[in-house]
Chains A and B, each alone.
Chain A
């Protein structure tokens, strides 16, 4: 593409700055394009999804291949090489390629109730203790023995010493033994990811990934109560749910700032699941969803981090409600919400990202994709504050020529 011939270090700086400027709502030489996917790189490179999750070298080679092909201004370095760790954990919150789903089918979260409503008080009183003794043993086989962990805060004087016998019990010892191995696998995956990001930086590709956080309501829904349980709590357990949202917000923020900073990029990805249009009333959204999410965002912004919020589904009815954040400090990535309308409502507040339709990337022609990108670049990109991407990243089944048309469009059309 157009930038071949420029030194990688120069490209790296230009691309990083282009993204940061767009976030700050400044106009740049052209609209940037960010690449994110789950398994499209695997498909393109001809490896199975299972291989992408279990073979770090193949996964890295696949992602490198598509970065060289597309020359994006940023990319999300999701190698998804969590396979060995997930297997060793005997993780039950999701099914993944070759392990519950087909080896060429994406991972899927299992929406279930992992914490019954009657446990709210116990969780709220002592989330760490609840996690060790009740929650973790439910969500992964390797954690089962942790149910026998000593209840440390309850121990005093000689009881403390005596309680160490818990570590002599076979179930707990077995869990700890397994966790040592899991730790090694997770560390290896982390090191390989870090090495990959460095190698890509040397080729001129900045990472646009970084930290990860959730809307507190989504965390309660996805990881504790299940979507049905959480929706019923909106009526049956309002106060407990609000208290949990408050607590979870604080817990989620612990560590995210340090972790993200250590990674070297300021972006914190926050995918939203249960607050979109139709999933709850405006009143519920304004009580249970937005305040918790906003608080998380404001805290990240206070620490000079950039929340990248993926508003899944259609959020048109939320547009007027979600502009109450500092100007030029965050990214709103919309999936199905009309970006032209979003620009008119939020364009002075937040950088927009998206949203070439998933179905278009899979089933339409490159010309149609090109036309759509042109519309986005000229209308939404006008004046800055826009990053081109797929509606919900690049779908695994996208046609290569369509993704290429998208990547090329930012060099073809001026905002």
Chain B
């Protein structure tokens, strides 16, 4: 098979959720000596299509999760073979810090936002779930994000979001940054309550906000 044809098939298998075929193709390419960075670049192309279909409402949560699994499986095959410094395609669009606020253990929404920001070129640091305000503050000092995303599904997250915004302000770290909130119950009333800059109803809204704020 022509190399270009094989590359096209890998991207298509990823985009069409044909997991076994995608992993087998990637394995064959790597075993055949194709540059692992090229294989990872093709994965990124495949995921870009997945992300676009998600944005258009053609794909849903399960497709994103399977996409992530395929990426992980191929990454595990490719990464040990990388000889030169893994520069990869630079994440040039700016930094976003994200996490589920203290007291809330939900992570699905946050993970989807992380995934979508990542494939849209943002450098994302994910602090996980049940994150205390102080941890956000420390991470802002270290990571210097342009945008901070606070996630939460439960109603108790409203106060935790407000407290986290307060802690960021008290630490003198709010100026020059934007704070967005998201999660099942979040709307304009919650945004006012938390004094965040904006809320997002879904992952695409989070990407749009980051693009607007960072000026991509």
Using CB atoms and an 8 Å cutoff, list the residues of chain A in contact with chain B: 95, 101-102, 105-106, 108, 110-111, 227-228, 231-232, 234-236, 278-281, 284, 312-313, 357-360, 362-364, 392, 395-397
B108: chain A residues within 8 A (beta carbon):
111, 227
Distance A105 CA – B187 CA, assembled complex (angstroms): 21
- Cross-interface CB contact of A232 among B65, B154, B156, cutoff 8 Å: B65
- Cross-interface CB contact of A235 among B17, B158, B193, B202, cutoff 8 Å: B17
Query: Shortest distance in angstroms between B203's beta carbon and chain A's nearest beta carbon?
Result: 9
Asked if A236 and B65 sit within 8 Å, CB to CB, the answer is: no
Given the known inter-chain contacts A101-B103, A108-B154, A397-B159, please indicate yes or no for A359 contacting B185, CB distance below 8 A. Answer: yes
Asked if A231 and B65 sit within 8 Å, CB to CB, the answer is: yes
Using CB atoms and an 8 Å cutoff, list the residues of chain B in contact with chain A: 17, 19, 59-63, 65-66, 69, 103-106, 108, 154-156, 158-159, 184-187, 189-190, 192-193, 202
- Cross-interface CB contact of B189 among A110, A234, A359, cutoff 8 Å: A359
A235: chain B residues within 8 A (beta carbon):
17, 19, 62, 66
Asked if B103 and A362 sit within 8 Å, CB to CB, the answer is: no
Asked if A102 and B103 sit within 8 Å, CB to CB, the answer is: yes
Given the known inter-chain contacts A101-B103, A236-B19, A281-B60, please indicate yes or no for A359 contacting B186, CB distance below 8 A. Answer: yes
How many inter-chain residue pairs (CB < 8 Å) link A and B? 79
Distance A227 CA – B60 CA, assembled complex (angstroms): 14
Distance A313 CA – B186 CA, assembled complex (angstroms): 11
Distance A364 CA – B187 CA, assembled complex (angstroms): 12
19 further interface pairs, Cβ-Cβ under 8 Å (given A101-B103, A280-B60, A281-B60): A95-B105, A105-B156, A106-B155, A106-B156, A111-B108, A228-B65, A236-B19, A278-B60, A279-B60, A279-B62, A280-B61, A280-B62, A312-B184, A357-B187, A358-B155, A359-B193, A360-B189, A362-B189, A396-B156
Distance A358 CA – B108 CA, assembled complex (angstroms): 20
A281: chain B residues within 8 A (beta carbon):
59-60, 62-63
A101: chain B residues within 8 A (beta carbon):
103
19 intermolecular pairs with C-beta atoms under 8 Å apart: A102-B103, A108-B105, A110-B105, A231-B61, A234-B62, A279-B61, A280-B62, A281-B59, A284-B62, A359-B185, A359-B189, A359-B190, A362-B189, A362-B193, A363-B158, A364-B189, A395-B155, A396-B156, A397-B156
Distance A359 CA – B189 CA, assembled complex (angstroms): 6
Kindly report which residue of chain B lies nearest to residue A102, judged by CB atoms: B103
Given the known inter-chain contacts A227-B108, A397-B156, please indicate yes or no for A363 contacting B193, CB distance below 8 A. Answer: yes
B185: chain A residues within 8 A (beta carbon):
357-359, 392
Distance A395 CA – B186 CA, assembled complex (angstroms): 13
Distance A101 CA – B154 CA, assembled complex (angstroms): 13
A95: chain B residues within 8 A (beta carbon):
105
Query: Shortest distance in angstroms between B80's beta carbon and chain A's nearest beta carbon?
Result: 24
